[in-house]
Structure 1
Amino acid sequence: MSEKIDIERYDDIERLMTELSSPGIHPGLGRVVRLLNIMGNPERSFPAVHVVGTNGKGSTSAMIEMALRSSGYSTALYTSPHLLHFGERLTLNGECVSPEAWRRSILRIFDCVEEDPSLKEDRPTYFEIMTVCALILISERSPDIAVIEAGMGGRLDATNVLGDVRLSVVTPIALDHSDFLGDTVEAVAEEKFAVIRDGGRAIFAGDGGGVLSRRFREICDSRGCIDVVADETIEIDLDSLSLSLSGTTVSLRRQGKTVELVLSLLGRYQAENARLAYLACDILREDFYRMKKKDILRGFSSTKWPGRLEVFRKEPPLLLDGAHNPHGMSALVASLGDLIGSRSLGIVYTSMSDKDYATVLGILSDGMSCRLYCTEVPDNERCAKAERLAQAAKDMRWTASPVAVTDPSRALDLASEECDIVIGCGSLYLLSWIYRNYVKP
């Protein structure tokens, strides 16, 4: 019952923040910088790791934070979005910040906005207010290190105001949010790489020695920044990669030395995230923090990240994954092949109407033998209609004709009746709905 009360209180905080903010997305750092100046620049009072990219930001951030915490350091972790409740977005030493602390910070900002003519006329957005609140709360606690995940952007993202960035981490880059970031991968990369600091340290997941890796090195060189490209520095031993419903094991090889990783996180792509996180920890260990290898590995093995190929229920198996764009779905399909074997698979899928769901569904149908159950998230105006999704998928390759089931509960039940394993994917909003309406075993 206490968890339910906490969720409701966090919902109140989210509503309060929505009431204060301007609707929509308005790129630019002017509002954030002005507000932070009024608040005394809390963003300058603590060291940070800044994580940007398209996919894998959350998992990579969580592994880095957990490795630092396992090494004895006090930490903050700021991520988005949340699944169950708003409080998940900011943790201090692994604990959610209380609704009372969030409310106090929000009301301080509210007073500043009301008293400043410029901010009152051009009100900060939801993400901007949330980020400034988080920076205030982190500053009050003064952790040894904060791991800050960017939102959708980079150069103009509200998180790109940090004063003491010890390391910039760039996860894999792909097309997403094209209206704001550009309609080519190269354009998106420019936005992400723009967070690299002069004279700092930066690491990029890499793109197999392609144009993005070369551009990353060029930018780092022009800014006097020490750079590392993960896929050119450490090799993943694919023969050692093993997936089960319990997690992922994999070996990393570097200059003749092998590191064995045991991850509680599930998925082939988690091996790539772990490689990036391990190298990030290696850089932090060399320059700033005393982190022993055993503590890093212990941190990785205990990292939890809900909604990323998560085993929500073991019997009958129900997995959840937030894959919503082509890059994410390709990564999911690659992992499902290892897990499913000869068992039948049911996909309960939904998508926001502004996403490229036709391409995502095509990747899914080409990559897996499965049944498709299209559904909707109740009371979500952005959600594509189940019938529309099923229509888009009807000429693709499935083991049975796609069906549209508006009620997600009924879709999950039907898939569980007809298939050995079920996975819910396509939108974090769907996963959030499942978290709120199903009791996790």
Structure 2
Amino acid sequence: ITNIGLDHTAVLGDTVELIAAEKAGIFKGGPAAAYDLPEGVRAVLREKAAAAGTELRFADFGELAPLSDSIDGQEFTYRGERYKIALAGEHQLKNAAVALEAIACLRRAGFEIPPGAVRRGLESARWPARFERVLQGPDFIVDGGHNPQCLAATAAALARYYPHTRRVLLFGALADKDWRDMARLLIPSADEFVCATPESERALDARELAEFLRGEGCRAEAFGTIEAAASAAYERAGPDGMACCVGSLYMAGAAREYLLRLGEGNK
């Protein structure tokens, strides 16, 4: 179980404790690993784990020490052992720590997993559309983050890797998400917004999103297609800026596909 935030609240519940109780349905006996979570959430997971006969391990982020960090990857130690990942963002170090706890669970269950295999696995892990740099010169990041928790991580990563860079955000969201809160989280990260409508019948119309952003004092324009919005974001970033597509997995896939074609055409 990784980090737990308020998402899919109509189905899972409107508090992190209720959501944790639903996610704990994955416990079926045997070992399990979980994120370093607040005590109230831990208590819920412990109770559910005990009822299922599950041995539960929590990651300890106090044992996590960054060594180097760039858009291309990070080095860190966890519980005194050194590792590398090719994923950007502090949140990915935390996800790696949970993966290492899962390895510890498997070892306790009798699986023989050599340290070298663990290191190779972490180094080779890739996660398309999760703060993925799809183009360079200017950089174009595609991130499928689609709730306030994810977008807070995206905003932190933008500040970390592009602190003094013009940033154009391609933003779209589903209408049933907390899109106003999502937008407000991104506003400090954007010099300009281009808005698109995700490929879903639940999508928020890009024109409504752009109007909201303008009401918040932002420069924002809506486009009729995801490709048109991605092209505009790329052009407006300019040679010294960067662009980032964020807000919906229903938009990220189409934007990524277009940008990969654009990159091939520019070679």
**TM-score, reference length from structure 1:** 0.55
- For 1:381, the aligned partner's letter is E
The 5 A counterparts of 1:143-154 are none
* 8 Å CA contact retained: 2:21, 2:48: no
Contact 1:241 1:268 in 2 (8 A): no
**Displacement, 1:221?**
3.2
- 1:213 corresponds to: 42
Q: Which residue of 2 aligns with 1:364?
A: 186
Question: Are residues 1:298 and 2:129 paired?
Answer: no
Correspondent of 1:225 among 22, 31, 54: 54
Q: Distance in 1 between matches of 2:68 and 2:42?
A: 25
Quick one: structure 1 residues 407 and 225, their matched pair in 2 at CA, closer, same or farther if it must change by over 3 Å? closer
Deviation string for 1:237-293 (max 9, x for gaps)?
24x35122x2222222x2xxx222211122221101100001111221232321111
The answer to whether the 8 A contact 1:374-1:404 is kept is yes
Say if 2:180 is the partner of 1:353: no
Shift of 1:369: 4.4
Corresponding residue for residue 209 of structure 2: 389
Tell me if 1:243 matches 2:70.
Answer: yes
Q: Within 2, Cα distance between the matches of 1:402 and 1:193? A: 41
Aligned equivalents of 2:232, 2:112: Cα separation in 1:
52
- Kept after mapping to 1: 8 A contact 2:129/2:143: yes
Q: Give the alignment partner of residue 314 of structure 1, picking from 113, 128, 136.
A: 136
**Residue identity (%):** 26
Bigger Rg over Cα: 1
**Corresponding residue for residue 408 of structure 1:** 226
Contact kept in structure 2, 1:346 and 1:415, CA below 8 Å: yes
Within-5 A mapping of 1:101-140:
none
Unaligned runs of 5+ in 1: 1-169
Q: Deviations over 1:179-226 (max 9, x none)?
A: 11112211111101122124x21221032x421012222332344432
Contact 2:33–2:57 at 8 Å: present in 1 too? yes
Tell me the secondary structure at the aligned position of residue 74 of structure 2: strand
1:195 corresponds to 2:26? yes
Output the CA distance in 1 between the equivalents of 2:9 and 2:107.
36
CA contact (8 A) 2:169 2:190 kept: no
Asked whether the 8 Å contact 2:32–2:105 carries over to 1, the reply is no
Deviation at 1:422, TM superposition (A): 0.5
| Partner Cα distance (1:324, 1:223) in 2 | 31
SS in 1 for 2:174: coil
Tell me the distance in 2 between the aligned counterparts of 1:339 and 1:183. Answer: 33
1:375-414 deviation per Cα after TM superposition (whole angstroms, max 9, x unaligned): 1246x4322111111122224364xx22222232232222
Aligned pairs (5 A) from 1:152-191: 170-191=1-22
**Cα shift at 1:437:** 3.4
Aligned length: 259
TM-score where L is the length of structure 2 = 0.89
Amino acid at match of 1:431: A
Question: Who is 1:272 aligned against?
Answer: 94
Instruction: Report if the CA contact (8 A) 1:176-1:325 is conserved.
Output: yes
**Are 1:347 and 1:373, in contact at CA under 8 Å, matched by a contact in 2?**
yes
Query: 2:197, 2:203 within 8 Å by CA — same for their partners in 1?
Result: yes
Cα distance, 1:423 vs. partner? 0.7
Residue of 413, 417, 422 corresponding to 2:235: 417
C-alpha distance in 1 between matches for 2:179 and 2:198: 15
Are the structure 2 counterparts of residues 210 and 393 from structure 1 closer, same or farther at C-alpha, using a change threshold of 3 Å? farther
Q: Would the aligned equivalents of 1:243 and 1:268 in 2 still touch at CA under 8 Å?
A: no
Residue 27 of structure 1 corresponds to none
The alpha-carbon distance between structure 1 residues 424 and 369, as it changes in their structure 2 partners (threshold 3 A), is: closer
1:327-338 map, 5 Å: 327-338=149-160
Q: Are the counterparts in 2 of residues 346 and 372 from structure 1 also a CA contact under 8 Å?
A: yes
Answer whether contact 2:227 2:254 (CA < 8 A) is retained: no
Decide whether aligned partners of structure 1 residues 365 and 291 sit closer, same or farther in structure 2, where only a CA change above 3 A counts.
same
Structure 1 residue 308: Cα displacement:
0.7
Alpha-carbon distance in 2 for matches of 1:230, 1:273: 9
Partner-residue secondary structure (3-state), 2:83: strand
State the superposition RMSD in angstroms.
Answer: 2.0
